[in-house]
């Protein structure tokens, strides 16, 4: 079967994305070379540079692809939620399900998503993560307005506390899985604990 140039480009790009995700999750970003990614994808380093500009650009693209899929569903959950607090609980449930389906992306989100990159030692955040944080901030403001969140705590404190609890539980589970240790809790226990914590922030 013949393919158009567009199909070939998309296939090569997706192979690089999948290879990068697998190798970054297996060996870590710093330990993964562009040559290894090219070999794994059946492509070339020049193609990696062409599509992503380098290894950092590839990692950012992996995050953006994953966040794009999540953020599309987030908007639907927001419209279906009774109030801001309910929406945040629903979004966390969505993230748990996504991480359970794809352990590689879970590892990258939790361990490679906000580390310093490059000579400037800046923490490079993907566009999708920035957008997600903005949505969480908007839902906290909505909850403070609709009476589902308390107003005597700064909204940034609320956001940091909620995301910190969720990330901490997910990170512990990923570490246990990678170390072949008993998993301390399942999806339902994470969601139940997070829900109790978020409901505790009601007025």
Spatial contact of 25 and 11, defined as CB atoms under 8 Å apart: no
Return the higher-pLDDT residue of 198 and 3. 198
Using DSSP's 3-state secondary structure scheme, residue 126 falls into: coil
Task: Tell me: pLDDT of 35 over 60.
Answer: yes
Task: Tell me: pLDDT of 4 over 50.
Answer: no
- Over the stretch 147-171, which tens digit does the pLDDT of each residue have? 999 999 999 999 999 989 999 999 9
- The Cα-based distances of 9 to 1, 37, 58, 63 in angstroms read 16, 17, 15, 20
Using DSSP's 3-state secondary structure scheme, residue 150 falls into: coil
> In the predicted model, what is the mean pLDDT of the chain?
87
Alpha helices in the chain (DSSP H): 5-27, 34-41, 45-52, 55-80, 84-101, 103-107, 127-146, 155-178, 187-199
Return the higher-pLDDT residue of 134 and 116. 134
pLDDT for the residue numbered 176: 92
Spatial contact of 155 and 136, defined as CB atoms under 8 Å apart: no
pLDDT for the residue numbered 122: 54
pLDDT for the residue numbered 2: 40
pLDDT for the residue numbered 75: 87
- Over the stretch 84-103, which tens digit does the pLDDT of each residue have? 999 999 998 888 888 888 98
Task: Find the mean pLDDT for residues 21-35.
Answer: 94
Give the distance, in angstroms, between the CA of residue 23 and the centroid of all CA atoms in the same chain.
17
Which of 58, 82, 194, 198 minimizes the C-alpha distance to 146? 82
Task: Work out the pLDDT band at 1, boundaries 50, 70, 90.
Answer: very low
Task: Tell me: pLDDT of 193 over 90.
Answer: yes
pLDDT for the residue numbered 100: 86
Q: Of 7-11, 106-110, 148-152, 162-166, where does mean pLDDT reach its minimum?
A: 7-11
As given in the structure block, the two tokens for residue 170 are 């997910």
Return the higher-pLDDT residue of 117 and 144. 144
Could you give the CA distance from residue 165 to residue 161 in angstroms, rounded to a whole number? 6
């Amino acid at each position: 079967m013949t393919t158009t140039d567009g199909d070939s480009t998309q296939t090569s790009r997706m192979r690089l994305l999948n290879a990068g995700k697998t190798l970054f999750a297996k060996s870590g970003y710093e330990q993964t070379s562009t040559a290894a990614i090219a070999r794994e994808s059946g492509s070339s380093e020049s193609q990696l540079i062409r599509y992503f500009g380098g290894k950092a650009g590839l990692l950012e693209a992996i995050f953006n692809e994953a966040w794009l899929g999540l953020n599309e569903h987030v908007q639907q959950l927001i419209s279906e939620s009774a109030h801001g607090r309910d929406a945040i609980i629903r979004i966390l449930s969505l993230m748990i399900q996504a991480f359970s389906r794809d352990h590689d992306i879970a590892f990258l989100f939790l361990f490679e998503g906000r580390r310093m990159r490059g000579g400037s030692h800046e923490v490079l955040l993907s566009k999708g993560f920035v957008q997600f944080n903005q949505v969480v901030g908007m839902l906290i403001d909505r909850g403070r307005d609709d009476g589902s969140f308390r107003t005597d705590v700064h909204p940034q404190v609320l956001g940091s506390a909620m995301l910190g609890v969720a990330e901490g539980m997910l990170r512990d589970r990923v570490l246990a899985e990678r170390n072949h240790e008993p998993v301390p809790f399942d999806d339902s226990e994470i969601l139940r604990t997070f829900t109790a914590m978020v409901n505790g922030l009601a007025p």
